[in-house]
Structure 1
Amino acid sequence: MAKDYYKILEINKGASDDEIKKAYRKLALKYHPDKNKERGAEDKFKEVAEAYEVLSNKEKRQAYDQFGNADYTEYPSSRPNQHQQNFYTFQGDGRQTFRDFFGTDDIFSAFSQFSSFDFPQMNPQFDSFPSRSFGGNSYMKQDPPIQYELWVSLEDIYRGGIKKYKINKTNYVGNGQVYQEEKILNIEIKPGWKAGTKITFPKEGDKRPNIIPADIIFILRDQPHKLFTRVDNDIEYSASISLKEALCGNLILNVPTLSGEIRKIDFRNEIITPYTTKIIPNFGLPNHKDPRMFGSMKINFKIRFPSTLSQDERNQLMAILP
């Protein structure tokens, strides 16, 4: 009777490649004979390996789905009324399949490659075990974290969004094989995040035998802005005005904002000094704990003085100014 490989791996017939890998990882760790000493565990371990070898191979899976038996598959021949016969025979080495998948023979190392929520539910007598291999080998070590500075504009801090970052990884697999992997990490920037915020992608570093891959950490940095300076959740804007505008009033200032709109501020009938400031509530950055709350915009003034004055202009100013 043909084996039901989907049932063995506890997956549906339409399972994706990732679901097949996840199922094998869970069951191979569960039934590995170095940990599971229950009767039938080793046979189950080999059976899981056999199911994985068939279903993870596109051609073998296609033949199995078509004929219902991976031990004997029949393919149409180019000659009329004839078929060519191919036989699939599992070599019975579940450990080799395990080695090729995890890149190690050590079940403890294999466990250490994955976070706790990926671990299979094991028999209670196997739930507690030291994170080191047999023979007194040292505890599994993790590569030191890899840190990158992520420069983000104030507009992105204001709105939030996704930043994409490309990394290149070296992965070591079974039988000494090495391949390079290019991966895009999607970094979620939440509104109001402060400089120094760390975003961690666990175990995304190079994969090496008996070593836990490094965490990749992005450290948020405020990209210098041509108009604004950030002070916590507030922003500061420096408006350049002439001495005449500062003294004579009649000034309506167009102030840019992070939202993109222009805010008109009326300074008519006001004398503006180098120490004058104007606070506009709710036009700063959002609070990262409550994005509905916003900081303020503080407007400072840079007054442009004339570089020269004629004697007549000096006399007029002397007569007018107190």
Structure 2
Amino acid sequence: MQSTRVAVARSTRFVNVARAPHSRFRRLPCVLSVTSTLSATSIHTASTCRRLVNCRTASERSARRGFHTTNIDRASQDFYDVLGVNKDASQSEIKKAYYQLAKKYHPDANKEPDAKDKFVKIQEAYDTLSDENKRRSYDQFGTADPTGGGMGGGEGAGFSGFGNMEDILSQMFGGGFSGMGGSGRGGAGGGGFVSVGEDVEAAVTISFMEAVKGTKTSVTITPVVKCQPCAGQGTKKGARRDKCKTCRGTGRAMFQMGGFHVQQPCPECGGEGSTINPKDKCSSCGGNGRVRERKTVPVDIPPGCDNGMRVKLQGLGDAPIEGAGPSGDLYVRVRVIPSKIFRRKGADLYYDLSLPFTTAILGGTVRVPTVDGDVEVKIRPGTQPGDELRLRSKGAQKINSSVRGDQYLSLNVKLPKKLSTTQRNLIEQFEADVQGKPPSSDSDKQSSTTKENDSSDATDKQKDEDSDKSSGGGFFSRIKKDFEHFKGSSDK
């Protein structure tokens, strides 16, 4: 048998019931120490296991995996019974029950000997039932982790080894175990602790063009700030804070939780090490030293900002509830109203361009809208439906860069729904020319019905050919001229 001692130092958040009018959590250092007499083959800290696992034999490792301790009291507890809710309770009911019980049994507010143990069970039950995945696993297996030992809710459930207790303590105090003889991240072994304010998030809605070009706007927020009359001290002018008699100015208090000794912020002074006489409290902040202030903050939206992006304004978030640490940051989430003209993918823009079929066949120039204004674009003859043209550097600007994306034109060929007799004859003649067939004219149709002699047909055909040659260019040239004439009439 040997004694295993684990020290945990971890910055965490606690609710100071007497000093938290802003419903904010305080970030203060917490030190937890564990003293237990258990077999070395049954329970080890994570770091110890990492150092010794390679030195054990396979049988020892197998025996270690097969052994687990069971907390009978915890195994007999059902999480739903702990919170006093039904198994089909909604999340709002679970949250409401948790807040009521946590407020009642929190060590800062309840000095009864068993209050701390009840608070741990309440916290454990809420952490499991407030997470849908953990709750589903708990309902099915009696534990939030079906691969490990249970923690209540199922028959014969317990916790396997030290790992699950580590998870519970991590959830309670916002940290993890530091290993043998070491100190936790950001804890007492790491030097002084600096409290940092919470981040604040706001949202603005801008148009598509404002997002592409950039704009200036503003948001209204109510961050936590230092009380100006008392300069954040919480006392009246000329009054002084008294040294806390409970923690003797250290700001920390030790309490026992089962077999654990947990060091947490002093419940009397909230971890400050000093208290304020009620008659000396600042009338503006009630002794808290912090108030909420409504302010309007200007926001510069950079060019190229896209929907869902966030603009960070450093130091404009909440001031820390306690201490003189830096304020948090303000994050402004940008919502962009979609454009009715353009589609956007990153820095590239897309525009659907409809072309008359005559322009697609013969070519020409068209005017196209861009974010910089209309531009003329040349269309090559023989353009096909679905072809794509690229206008370089006509897209949105890339964030933190002077480079711009491109604008792509998706070409759609627009076909007429109705044709006049002349237009239809032209199309039929064009089709016949493409297929290498002689053009069928009205005279040809009548000659087939009246059965005129072949010599007359041959003479007419020769006259037509001579006429085409004399006009210069042949049949296709005439078709092209007719198409150009048809294009002009359709444009009008």
Question: In terms of Rg, which structure is larger?
Answer: 2
More strand by share: 1
| TM tier, smaller | 0.3 to 0.5
- More contact order relative to length (CA 8 Å, sep ≥ 6): 2
Q: What is the TM-score of this pair, normalised by structure 1? A: 0.46
